[in-house]
Structure 1
Amino acid sequence: MNQDYIKPDNWSIIEEGFNTERVKSSESLFSIGNGAMGQRANFEEHYSGATFQGSYIAGVYYPDKTKVGWWKNGYPEYFAKVLNAPNWIGINIEINGENLDLATCKSVSNFRRELNMKEGIYYRSFNAILQNGTEINVNVCRFLSLDLDEVGVINYEITPLNSDATIIFKPYLDAGVHNEDANWEEKFWEPISVAHDSNQAFVTARTFKTHFEATTFMQNSILLNDVLQDVKPVVTEQTDDKIMLAYNISVEKEQKVAIQKFGGYTVSTNHVNTFAAAKNIIEIALVVGYHQLFEDQKTEWGKIWKMSDITIEGDVKAQQGIRFNIFQLNQTYSGKDSRLNIGPKGFTGEKYGGSTYWDTEAYCIPFYMATKDQQVARNLLAYRYNQLQKAIENAEKLGFKNGAALYPMVTMNGEECHNEWEITFEEIHRNGAIAFAIFNYYRYTGDYSYIPEKGLEVLIGIARFWHQRATFSTQKNQYVILGVTGPNEYENNVNNNFYTNYIAKWCIDYAIEQIQVVENKYNSDYVRILNKVKLSQSEISEMKKVADNMYFPYSEEHDVYLQQDGFLDKELITVANLDKSQRPINQKWSWDRILRSPYIKQADTLQGFYFFEDHFTKEQLEKHFNFYEPFTVHESSLSPCVHSIQAAILNKMEMAYTFYLRTSRLDLDDYNKEVEEGLHITSMAGTWMSIVEGFGGMRVKNNALHFEPRIPKEWDGYSFKINFRNQILKVAVQQNETNFSLEGETAIPVFVNGKEILVEPNSLVTV
């Protein structure tokens, strides 16, 4: 049974009614971020029930020492933890001598949360009766400014309903935080200084080992019936990593009292003096003021939605799902800072650590290319180029040489920091996604300049890795790749994973092809690069030999490529014949049993068919889809989107729609029973793809856009926009027609079901 307490709504995520069992799930679902920082939806006031406290600063991490019983050569020394940052949102509240705590109130009624995705603002409200009999109404509004991205804003209002009240607001800053998933219970933050000045307070702390310094700050104002009050704060608690102020105010029955708290972080990655920067940003925020910050937030989110919104008519749950995914992607990564990337949990939890997986290249880049300008996608490619030397060092630790590059499975700074051996050493297909992203970027943007400037060096390092990783089998008289884990992590240490072998061959071929293009058209870059990487013609010939003679396991009986050599040795019982009580198998079965089963965690062979669709016929895709889909349990968030796209291509619309709902509402409906740990941010880009590439059928072929629009029977219509080479095309699909319109200077040709049409600026074309 999936959770279903989130109310269907086109623009908001809404929860009604207070239930302690749901608090941690809602803390994930109502998370907010602005690209520079983010936080789970923890209560501002003290809560003694089960909660998962989490605030995060982009790019700040801690190298938590690897915890394994049996060390293996090449193991990463540490696991890069996404750090729980100092807490600035806290406001303890005392009413007539009793602390407000929803876990201990006599009653809580009219509890409601709303995350307004259109405006990027989070609201919470409730009525409560305290043990002392005081009845109150509370309204809270919170947002992280997109404009001033170091500033967060809280407006916390209390109205006593049945008597006058003495209310004490106790806003605080606390750097004495820890991570739930720390390996050794280490403390991550070292306090440096605590200061306060009237309504402002500051806690400066530094991370151990990585030495990121952050000043966490707050500025408080008290208002009575919306009029600013002159209430002097008292310092009620001060330690070396925490400070709490107290504001005491008497309120008559039905008067509204509020604390407005500005808070946030200034970080050493952006400032030499974080304390001075904090004082400065507070002054700027005070000049702008609460109401203007609130209005600016709505304006900035309006600009984001103007480009990235997808509308769905006639299906509120589907509409809510896609907007939730788009909203979270934009909260996590704005594209402004090329040092940052898209972590799999974004700012919503600690699990997985690291800020970058292959998810960025395989799933996220298409979303950012099409909904922002191409510079954002180029920044994501440059991020990997800047870490090329580390990728070469990662490969050297495993015994590779001569500039072979192995990009990490998980990283913060380019070093591998994932320490499950079957993934760290074996899930090497990740290297292929880095190369594919370079190809995909050029295919989509037409901007070749990235390849001679930076990309070719990355492609050569990756091709060298595949060349060295392949083994010549005298028995098969072909090159094989042994001991790997493919995208399907439910098979470890297998030989000749189809997807891995296929992408390895493609990477070598593509690198050689680009070497030739750069030699012919960018000769000075060619000379510079070959001198730098010391690549010879004989090495290129050796690489080509590996690519031309790569082995792919194949079954004549089923007429399909095999996921790996031993797949047919398994007991091939389909998921439909698996007892539902056994799902999800990753929570019900031993690892031994999973590895021997035929069950596929996520698209694997089919991932290859997704990336290299034009290498195969539709008949081949159908055969492989029909063979592998029945064994796929979709226990990875990255799985349903690929299957949705392929089901749409094959006109299996019921299936495509079911998979779309699953990917778009994965977290809202908690399919995997783990949403309290955080959201699945990177797979949300796959949700976007399942509409644009799946139902919309969008492809780029020969420098032109192609569409094969389809529509689920549950929808009346849907629309999306894409920025294609600095022209914005809007596509609106109805049950019986598709409309195209263009915001741009010059007409562009578009192919619909293979037929060319010309879309003129500011005019509608109906097909």
Structure 2
Amino acid sequence: MTGPEMKAGIPGPGADPGWTFCLDGYDPLLENSVESRFAISNGFLGIRGARATSRGQRWIVPARTYVAGLFDTSGTEHATTGLVPAADWLRFRIMMAGGPLLHHPGDMSSHHMTLDVRQGALFSAGRHFDSPDLGIQVRTLRLASISDRALGLQLIQMEIEQGEVDVAVEASFEGVELGLVIDRLDQDLGTWRTRHSGKRLAMATTSSLQIDGRDLEPAARGPLTWSWNWKTRPGQIATFQRFVAVVRSDAPDLDPGPEARDKLGSARHVGWQDVVAAHKAAWGRRWHNSDVEVDGDAKAQRMLRFALYHLNGAANPADERVSIGARALTGDNYHGHVFWDTEIFLLPFYILTWPEAARTLLMYRFHLLNGARAKAAAMGWRGALYPWESADTGADVTPEQVIGPDHRVIAILCGKLEQHISADVAYAVWQYWQATGDDAFLLEAGAEILLETGRFWASRAQREADGRCHIRGVIGPDEYHEHVDDNAYTNVMARWNIRRALDIAALLREHWPVRWISLARHLGLEDAELAQWLDVAETIAIGRDPETGLFEQFSGYFALEDIDLSHYAGRSVPMDVVLGRERTQASQVVKQSDVVALLGLLPEEFAGAAAETNFRYYEPRCSHGSSLSPAMHGLVAARLGDAEMALRYLRQTAAIDLAETHVAADGGIHIAALGGIWMLAVFGFAGLTLRNDGIAIDPRLPAGWDSMVFRIQWRGRHLKIAIDQANQSVEATLEAGEPMALTVGGDPHPLGRAAMLAVRFRKPGAASC
């Protein structure tokens, strides 16, 4: 690993502040948010950033460890399926004759934590001199390997600065009975099972302690527990290391213990140095493919790096049975459930920088397609209606009720009414195929998803006396308004979905007729039904004024109370709390703008000045009550040429997880908002769009950004794109793949491997307000 070495060879964090996030001291009010922000994850194993050295017994709270796909229910009526935490394998205590060296989290004389996002590792350093008998420095390293996702590593170095006393070190697991049923607990292996879902978990572990480079034999051993005794002396260095290997089994009759022991044995054989080196190399590859370099705005650079770190750590391309929850593996808010966030705010990043991970996330939706069919059928429709909140079975796991800010019970209607999720999944399928050209995925999974979601919308939209097809009684992304009719986002996305399903049917007929015959037979699709789909697409109500191009968010929206949100600037609570639910529902205040989301996803629906008209209408009416909202607004603002507004939205999005005064991240970081930061930078400031014949770039960098450099992948090509603000130029390098076309500022240019393409572009004028 790069950076200064600790004594005894344990690596330390890098020195470049552009790659590190640091925290000094202890603030109990911010501790939970800190644990989210400093979490480490590899897409399979997630560990919150709790302190490395445990406190006195009454202060111990397990450092939550999450395993992707480890879902269970309580078995009670109205129980919610949720991600079950695994045992905390990081517990470590220093004991003296009078008890633990630390009795309270604030007992350390100094404490410094560093998240090194380049290395994907969490470091800490602390000193303890409050005891008259012992002065000690403690340094730690923690990681979840992305070269072998089963592995976690903990290294702790203790340097004795004063005192000759008898001490003991205890290393153990905490929370072994927390939510899981114990099958067995051996010294080096624990196995558990969920109570109801039939999953099993194994954690194999080994620990060792060296004093001045020599192994010290444990004084006692027990199930997942070790302790060592020795007498300290000044200058002495004790080094503790612990591996854990974690394996999940989805089959109740398959014991994951042997595989966990095999993984652990391999790690012990190569040693922690090689495990660290392989982990570093894997992170190096991820950063090579995904980094966004900004020159001229150090704060924005750090925001992007924080976002990219968590995005790269959230996915596991080896497991098609899991997806990314709303808080990834950094916390338990939303029970680990998967929302539309994944397809709309995360898939773009993975599609263009890590297509293997994107494919896996979409295969998760394909494997759960039968659950989506069952939901649609249960509600009286055809095709596939994906669950609003998804776990591991395909069933909708949206809670039915929640306690509101006023402590009243509120019914949750999203599970039944927020149906745009099916179009969102279809949108991601189409974007992936367009960007990768992965025909094998299309034939295996993508076409069936598109056809079944298109079928759902064709049955959901009903023709009425006015000759139009209407979708009534839904919730759009703006969840402040419920039971609305003809929601613009829902209806336009439904129309888009149906049209892409028809495109796929025609494509299969022409290019893969055997597959079409097989799939049409499997789905019971006939020409008469396809004709009905086309009729729905041509007649669905979308609420657009043909003269102005202004969309009405839903039927009757323009008649609602228009509230000036500038009068509520500086508020610290959502607008539905300020106004009350009833007044909010009767107003034009939106949680997030459905029409602005359409502008971001389907800009072709807004011809001429319509994009400007719609954005300027809805932007001041949006309260940004959702963490998803600011980034989408920033993306659209950048495309419209208002780069300074877009930069404000970038900072607002990053503050959700990074602002020291916020505790919004207590239950985990907002992974979709972090995906939105990448989208804002690449789709907004760089002006990247995907076309059938290539890629287009139309830069709109903020005034303070001197340059921006990023890499993307498109249909087997690897491109490096550099935007120079001062010279108004784009430099593009085709690092791998066949020649292609790159459009810059509206003009196409051939891009080959022989030479770098350098093109000047016109600086767009700022959009008027």
TM-score, normalised by the number of residues in structure 1:
0.90
Counterpart Cα distance in 2 of 1:533 and 1:620: 39
Q: 1:54 aligns with which of 35, 55, 64?
A: 64
Identity value in percent: 25
Q: 2:740 aligns with which of 743, 748, 751?
A: 748
Counterpart Cα distance in 2 of 1:446 and 1:274: 37
- 8 Å CA contact 1:459–1:511 kept in 2: the answer is yes
Aligned to 2:325: 343
1:430 paired to 2:421: yes
| Structure 1 residue 177: Cα displacement | 4.9
* Post-superposition CA distance 1:330-360 (Å, at most 9, x none): 1110322222211111111111124422222
- 8 Å CA contact 1:332–1:342 kept in 2: the answer is yes
1:99 paired to 2:86: no
Cα separation, partners in 2 of 1:569 and 1:438, compared to 1, 3 Å: same
- 8 Å CA contact 2:697–2:744 kept in 1: the answer is yes
| Structure 1 residue 537: Cα displacement | 2.2
Aligned to 2:724: 734
| Structure 1 residue 571: Cα displacement | 1.8
Aligned to 2:4: none
* Post-superposition CA distance 1:127-163 (Å, at most 9, x none): 1234565332111111112223212111112223231
Counterpart Cα distance in 1 of 2:557 and 2:250: 49
Where 1:706 maps in the other structure, the secondary structure is: strand
| Structure 1 residue 98: Cα displacement | 2.7
Cα separation, partners in 2 of 1:588 and 1:52, compared to 1, 3 Å: farther
Aligned to 2:763: none
Aligned to 2:259: 277
Structure 1 residues 286-295 or 31-40, which shifts more? Answer: 286-295
Q: 2:360 aligns with which of 379, 392, 401?
A: 379
Aligned to 2:184: 193
- 8 Å CA contact 2:109–2:130 kept in 1: the answer is no
Query: Where do residues 301-450 of structure 1 align in structure 2 (5 Å cutoff)?
Result: 301-372=283-354, 374-401=355-382, 403-420=383-400, 421-450=412-441
| Structure 1 residue 574: Cα displacement | 2.8
| Structure 1 residue 671: Cα displacement | 8.0
Q: 1:578 aligns with which of 560, 568, 571?
A: 568
- 8 Å CA contact 2:353–2:712 kept in 1: the answer is yes
Aligned to 1:251: 232
| Corresponding letter in the other structure for 1:334 | N
Where 2:413 maps in the other structure, the secondary structure is: helix
With CA pairs under 8 Å and 6+ residues apart, which has the higher RCO, 1 or 2?
1
Q: 1:20 aligns with which of 11, 17, 28?
A: 28
Q: 2:205 aligns with which of 208, 218, 232?
A: 218
Where 2:50 maps in the other structure, the secondary structure is: coil
Counterpart Cα distance in 1 of 2:74 and 2:531: 43
Counterpart Cα distance in 1 of 2:755 and 2:29: 52
1:38 paired to 2:46: yes
Cα separation, partners in 2 of 1:726 and 1:392, compared to 1, 3 Å: same
| Corresponding letter in the other structure for 1:739 | E
| Structure 1 residue 290: Cα displacement | 1.7
Counterpart Cα distance in 2 of 1:166 and 1:386: 57
Counterpart Cα distance in 1 of 2:109 and 2:139: 13
| Structure 1 residue 38: Cα displacement | 1.0
Aligned to 1:497: 487
- 8 Å CA contact 1:90–1:171 kept in 2: the answer is yes
Cα separation, partners in 2 of 1:467 and 1:758, compared to 1, 3 Å: closer
Where 1:418 maps in the other structure, the secondary structure is: coil
* Post-superposition CA distance 1:204-226 (Å, at most 9, x none): 1111111221122321111112x
| Structure 1 residue 49: Cα displacement | 5.1
Aligned to 2:12: none
Counterpart Cα distance in 2 of 1:756 and 1:671: 47
Where 1:328 maps in the other structure, the secondary structure is: helix
Structure 1 residues 480-489 or 502-511, which shifts more? Answer: 502-511
Counterpart Cα distance in 1 of 2:316 and 2:543: 42
Counterpart Cα distance in 1 of 2:503 and 2:284: 43
| Structure 1 residue 112: Cα displacement | 0.7
Counterpart Cα distance in 2 of 1:124 and 1:486: 44
| Structure 1 residue 661: Cα displacement | 2.0
Counterpart Cα distance in 2 of 1:590 and 1:433: 30
Q: 2:636 aligns with which of 646, 652, 666?
A: 646
| Structure 1 residue 165: Cα displacement | 3.0
Aligned to 2:445: 454
Where 2:93 maps in the other structure, the secondary structure is: strand
1:300 paired to 2:282: yes
Counterpart Cα distance in 2 of 1:645 and 1:671: 25
Counterpart Cα distance in 2 of 1:85 and 1:155: 20
| Corresponding letter in the other structure for 1:223 | Q
Counterpart Cα distance in 2 of 1:441 and 1:66: 39
Aligned to 2:128: 128
Structure 1 residues 449-458 or 26-35, which shifts more? Answer: 449-458
- 8 Å CA contact 2:52–2:124 kept in 1: the answer is no
Cα separation, partners in 2 of 1:671 and 1:136, compared to 1, 3 Å: closer
1:552 paired to 2:542: yes
| Structure 1 residue 680: Cα displacement | 0.9
1:708 paired to 2:698: yes
Structure 1 residues 612-621 or 664-673, which shifts more? Answer: 664-673
Q: Which runs of 5+ in 1 are unaligned?
A: 1-6, 69-77, 179-187
Where 2:540 maps in the other structure, the secondary structure is: coil
- 8 Å CA contact 1:88–1:217 kept in 2: the answer is no
1:29 paired to 2:37: yes
Cα separation, partners in 2 of 1:582 and 1:484, compared to 1, 3 Å: same
- 8 Å CA contact 1:311–1:718 kept in 2: the answer is yes
Aligned to 1:463: 454
Cα separation, partners in 2 of 1:547 and 1:500, compared to 1, 3 Å: same
Query: Where do residues 60-71 of structure 1 align in structure 2 (5 Å cutoff)?
Result: 60-65=70-75
Counterpart Cα distance in 2 of 1:95 and 1:709: 62
| Structure 1 residue 670: Cα displacement | 6.3
